[in-house]
Amino acid sequence: EPVQRRWRAPARAPRRLVLVVDVSGSMAPYARLLLAYAHALAAARPRVEVFLLGTRLTRVTRELRERDPDRALARALRAAPDVGGGTRLGAGIGTLNRRHGARVGRGAVVVVLSDGWDRGDPAELGAELARLRRTAHRLVWLNPLKAQPGYAPLARGMAAALPHVDEFLEGHSVRALERLAALLEGPLSR
């Protein structure tokens, strides 16, 4: 008696999303908005990892899973002792690659929210972003300064990062974050 085979299409799970939020002094005017956005994503999606980046990288995914947004943001900011300080983007991305690479996993969409001002070596940032880009599905960079008329990526960190970035977007307003959400739900989700 012949057997009727049933084929199923492969299951499609949403891609893992990794947010790296710069919390240095130069990002202070945008930090609360970006952290609130990260909280909303962490609460709404199961496969989201959130890191704060200043002079070092701090994982705050667990802190942002709190339902109350004010308490979640306060817990996340307490977890990162270098909030409002300088930025070492290359060292932070290097820590992400080496220490959290297995958790982040291959094929993730990585979103860096930073103005690109960096105290570290631009060559280190370029090398670490190249390494991250080889494992990530897409690398998106949101820069709040990009919205200013006449903006050019002249900061050493931003200039070192751009060759490795798939999408370079504004990150200064709720409207810019809505564009990111549309991108994450559309072309980058596949």
> Is this model's pTM higher than 0.95 or not?
no
pLDDT tens digits along 85-121: 999 999 999 999 999 987 777 889 999 999 999 999 9
What is the edge-to-edge ordering of all strands in the sheet holding 48-53?
Answer: 57-59, 48-53, 17-22, 109-113, 138-143, 167-170
Q: Which residue has the higher pLDDT, 31 or 124?
A: 124
For residues 23 and 117, is the Cβ–Cβ distance under 8 A?
Answer: no
3-state secondary structure of 106: coil
Strands 57-59 and 17-22: unpaired
pLDDT tens digits along 45-92: 888 999 999 999 999 999 998 889 999 999 999 999 899 999 999 999
Burial of residue 12, with CB atoms counted within 10 A of its CB: 0-12 exposed, 13-18 middle, 19 or more buried = exposed
